[in-house]
Amino acid sequence: MGPRAGIAGVLVLLLLAPLALLFSAQPASAVGTLCLPSDTTACIAGTLRTEKDVLPGVKITVTGPDGQATEATTGDDGRWNVQVTKEGEYTVKIDDTTLPKNLATSGEVTVDAKFKATAPALIPIRTADYQASESYWDHLLQSSANGLRLGLLLALASVGLSLIYGTTGLSNFAHAEQVGLGGILGYFLINVHGLNLWVGGLLVMVLCGFTGWFQDRVMWQPLRRRGLGLTQLMIVTIGLSLAMQYCFQYFVGARTVRVVKDNPTVSTVGPITMTNQSFIAMGISILVLAAVGYALLRTRVGRATRAVSDNPALAAASGIDVDKVIRLVWTVSMALAGLSGLLYALVTNGIKWDSGMQILLLLFAAVTLGGLGTAFGALVGSIIIGLVVELSPVLGMPGDFKYATALLILILLLLVRPQGLLGRPERVG
């Protein structure tokens, strides 16, 4: 067997084994609902509530692409659901006459129904004396909170990406797919197999960390020892990224899958309104990032990692096992990416086969902005990118240009400071 065939076999084992084990069981039935999606049906569901209480007895009309309408009424817990037999866009509208006198809706919403899935319909409820023009400062604070949330989730993944670059010099284009792997594994473990969210989340980190260890043990270390250049290794990561995307599409299809079945609850702190899952995700991100920072600064392993990042040859000469440090970096980086993907799926209420690809440029922008190879630079860069993305519409940029705005700021900064915010300048020549 030649080396190319060996590498191909490794990729197949790496990508298919964890998902195949999880996919072997049939999905568990939903509990406490009247609608169960199947191969020929889809569900549209939601929970109608204000900031303080649920709204029972409210009539909702769901109109399909063929114009056929179906009615539903919210239960005592504010929940409702409708089963449909055709895929496509459905319009969901509330009958205002069934709402309490002091409440009204902000209009109708459109959802995309797919077989074997439940499409959430989030219908905004407002008080009758609501003013359409929201305070600019309240909008600014809300967008800043959303930006901080996005920045923290990006930081979990970009810190590992930066550590890999610092210790190996490799730009890993498959890193974003590890983020997607975390969300999809969370779907299979928690939604399909019914594990507790916390237990499932811990198992996601363990499995993703194992994929990092496995990758370095059977692929990256042998390729490094064979003397492959960084450009060749980077091309391998691109191929690995594409292979993982198609594996995800094979197992979950093109639909959006959710980690948890229940609709998220919303909490309000001053002018900031977020789901409880968003607040918890931000807290977990802060704790994990603080632990990683402490490990890098205060532990022997962390100091060895920084030494390998600064000068691998000198670190090896001083007695540090460079291969073991690199393998540990791969393991921890993939575990952090998996955690980021799980939290991202919870915050955005779902994940798709190409979700990783959608945030790939943001990850590289964060790492480059903060300084290539510096973990703390990746953290700072991620927070800046997250804030810029969410604040751009508030500051007058069209919503469709918010990602372009982040990349434009990256280019302008690199023109002034090529090494990034916390990177060290390098001599050329």
The string of pLDDT tens digits covering residues 148-182 is 999 999 999 999 999 999 999 999 999 999 999 99
Per-residue pLDDT, 8:
45
SS3 73: strand
Cα 168 to chain center, whole Å? Answer: 25
Tokens 């994940």 found at: 351
Cβ-contact 346, 198 below 8 angstroms: no
Per-residue pLDDT, 378:
92
Tokens 């391998």 found at: 236
CA distance 280 to 273: 13
**Furthest C-alpha separation in the chain:** 78
Cβ-contact 386, 148 below 8 angstroms: yes
CA distance 419 to 334: 25
SS3 329: helix
Per-residue pLDDT, 400:
62
- C-alpha radius of gyration, the chain, whole number: 24
From residue 295, alpha-carbon distances to 16, 155, 332 in Å are 32, 16, 11
SS3 266: strand
Per-residue pLDDT, 26:
37
Neighbours of 74 (CB within 10 A): 22
Question: Sign of the C-alpha dihedral, residues 87, 91, 97, 101?
Answer: positive
The sheet carrying 118-120 orders its strands as 79-84, 42-47, 118-120
- All domains of the chain, ordered by start, with CATH? 42-127 (2.60.40.10), 136-416 (1.10.3470)
CA distance 367 to 161: 8
CA distance 395 to 144: 12
Per residue in 259-282, pLDDT (tens digit) is: 987 777 888 888 888 888 999 999
CA distance 123 to 385: 29
- End-to-end Cα distance, the chain: 42
Phi/psi for 223 (5° steps) reads -65, -40
CA distance 341 to 184: 8
pLDDT in tens, the chain (429 residues): 444 445 544 444 444 454 444 444 433 333 344 687 888 888 888 888 776 677 888 888 888 887 788 888 888 777 888 888 888 888 888 887 787 766 777 667 888 888 878 888 877 776 654 444 457 788 888 889 999 999 999 999 999 999 999 999 999 999 999 999 999 999 999 999 999 999 999 999 999 999 999 999 999 999 999 988 899 999 999 999 999 999 999 998 888 888 987 777 888 888 888 888 999 999 999 999 999 999 999 999 999 999 998 888 889 898 999 999 999 999 999 999 999 999 999 998 788 888 888 889 899 999 999 988 888 999 999 999 999 888 887 777 766 677 788 888 888 888 888 888 887 766 544
CA distance 107 to 94: 8
- Of 117, 418, 73, nearest to 255 by C-alpha is 117
Which pair of tokens denotes residue 41? 């049906």
Which helix H or strand E contains 90, and what residues bound it? strand 88-94
Tokens 């920045």 found at: 151
From residue 287, alpha-carbon distances to 152, 156, 296, 318 in Å are 11, 11, 14, 33
pTM above 0.85, yes or no: no
